[in-house]
A and B are shown apart, each in its own frame.
Chain A
């Protein structure tokens, strides 16, 4: 966090976030900061609390305790809709699009452009198509002329492009990608990683949840390792490598197995991928 001086204040601050389901604690005092123009990878074993954390940020579930600040202002989202209005978008790996609707309809779902005709508020399909066309052209050029086609006829990767277009359509501040590469071919993964870089460059804060650590090492600036609902370590990708991350995921950084100081030394490890 020392090298953060260029960014005056984080866009998102999550402080002491707790989530309990009866006796079970999914999150125990988790902290997370997000800065403009960076991508943060969240990793952890199954049940570490990654999904719970991002679902709280995007309003899908509500925390039991803790505070979320957006641009310094305390916020609380009672629904995904409220979070979207504040510029926080999430793309789920499986729950992406509605099959029988067109690309345009999926992109604008819940935030349609309308026009007044004889006092009636009707859909402005032409305007929405135009915007959707531009958006989708930047993500998957093949789809540019298919915005009026039902999403059912698209491949898995193309459906995901539609979901990303929906998340991008209204100038978000934070984009959460939940396992975006899980269903993609190798070629499509490259495209997704390029997209994440583009999002970063345009000033968004990106959260990437992925089991593919190599993807995280390639596009992320920081890696947040979680275990049992708590933060294990917040690492700079330039000074860490996959081995260290895996060890932290498994050990939870306990018993001095991974002293913080060694992080720098590990960056010269032969298996470390080139810094992004």
Chain B
């Protein structure tokens, strides 16, 4: 009896160990460390400076903010490919309106546009039953097209958007990111809604059987993703001082890589916004380091593609998927 008990306990702790790696922060933190050590060694005088780390963190803030909403989408088992285009649309609209309406209303409308785009994604996904991959792929090109259409291909200078400034000696962007992080961490980990998002990602069938309001939850997740993409677009626009219709092109790729590298697998249920913070800093540091060591943008693209695949290989529970198509 004692022997059986011990055996049971051992197996149990082994399982627990395995679980802590899935959706844990150990591997993501190691990759972050690896990136810093690697570029620190390659370009010690330029990479590991206070100014450069600040640049990395500010850039990471954009990836993280957009990534927070996407993290919720991915935990629920779906995907949102439209975040880059939605960011551009929000940025362009806010920049166009800022001159006429003043910065505060422009920011609000910009964020609302992001939410609306997410709402449309959610409606088509939930009620017309189109896979999120396809819905958001369509939104990726539609939102980008609208951004070009309303801007006539021109860029708009951003006037005095408060989101760019400084609070004390820290960029406002960082406070926005920290605030959003706190709010979404609470939502995901401490509220019934967070648990429902995970349940949908874990088993939608069981979630339906216990009577969770699936449609409402899924719709809210996509609205949230649109809102965080919109905020990300405003940050991007105000940081470069102008909103251009090509703002945030292929941002979705960087953000998805950040979320997955952070340890949130695409299979759903597992993951956290904490992981996304780590992933965002890692991707931001990687992009920054690649530029600093002088690699051209074509090589950077190749390396980022490889990193995405590596991250998926580590994070995805491929054993859980019977058939890969």
Q: Is A112 close to B, CB under 8 A?
A: yes
Question: Which listed residue (B19, B196, B203) contacts A95, Cβ 8 A?
Answer: B203
Mask, B195-217, CB within 8 Å of A = 1, is: 11011001101111111100000
Mask, A159-171, CB within 8 Å of B = 1, is: 0000000100000
Contact across chains for B206 and A97 when beta carbons are under 8 A apart:
yes
Q: Is A110 close to B, CB under 8 A?
A: yes
Chain A positions 2-60 with a Cβ under 8 Å from a chain B Cβ: 60
Question: In the complex, A56 Cα to B198 Cα: how many Å?
Answer: 28
Collect the chain A residues with CB atoms within 8 Å of residue B198's CB.
Answer: 98, 100-101
Question: What is the size, in residues, of chain A's interface with B at 8 Å between Cβ atoms?
Answer: 31
Q: Is B295 close to A, CB under 8 A?
A: no
Chain B positions 11-27 with a Cβ under 8 Å from a chain A Cβ: 12, 15-16, 19, 23
Contact across chains for A92 and B209 when beta carbons are under 8 A apart:
yes
Q: Is B191 close to A, CB under 8 A?
A: yes
Question: Which listed residue (B8, B19, B195) contacts A112, Cβ 8 A?
Answer: B195
Collect the chain B residues with CB atoms within 8 Å of residue A80's CB.
Answer: 208-211
Mask, A134-178, CB within 8 Å of B = 1, is: 000000001000100110110000000000001000000000000
Q: Is B270 close to A, CB under 8 A?
A: yes
Contact across chains for B16 and A153 when beta carbons are under 8 A apart:
yes
Q: Which of A116-124, A194-202, A203-211 is the interface stretch?
A: A116-124
Collect the chain B residues with CB atoms within 8 Å of residue A64's CB.
Answer: none
Question: Which listed residue (B19, B192, B195, B211) contacts A79, Cβ 8 A?
Answer: B211
Of chain B, the residue at the smallest CB distance from A112 is: B192
Contact across chains for B8 and A142 when beta carbons are under 8 A apart:
yes
Contact across chains for A100 and B211 when beta carbons are under 8 A apart:
no
Q: Is A99 close to B, CB under 8 A?
A: yes
Q: Is A84 close to B, CB under 8 A?
A: yes
- Of B202, B207, B209, B269, most buried by chain A (CB within 10 Å of CB) is B209
Task: Summarize A's interface: helix, strand, loop or mixed.
Answer: mixed
A228 → chain B closest CB, angstroms:
27
Given contacts A95-B205, A99-B202, A110-B212, contact A152 B191 (CB under 8 A): no
B319 → chain A closest CB, angstroms:
12
Of chain A, the residue at the smallest CB distance from B8 is: A142
Collect the chain A residues with CB atoms within 8 Å of residue B212's CB.
Answer: 81, 109-110
A–B pairs, 20, beta carbons within 8 Å: A60-B209, A79-B211, A81-B211, A92-B209, A95-B206, A98-B198, A98-B269, A99-B203, A101-B195, A101-B198, A105-B195, A109-B207, A109-B212, A112-B195, A122-B186, A123-B190, A123-B195, A149-B16, A150-B16, A152-B19
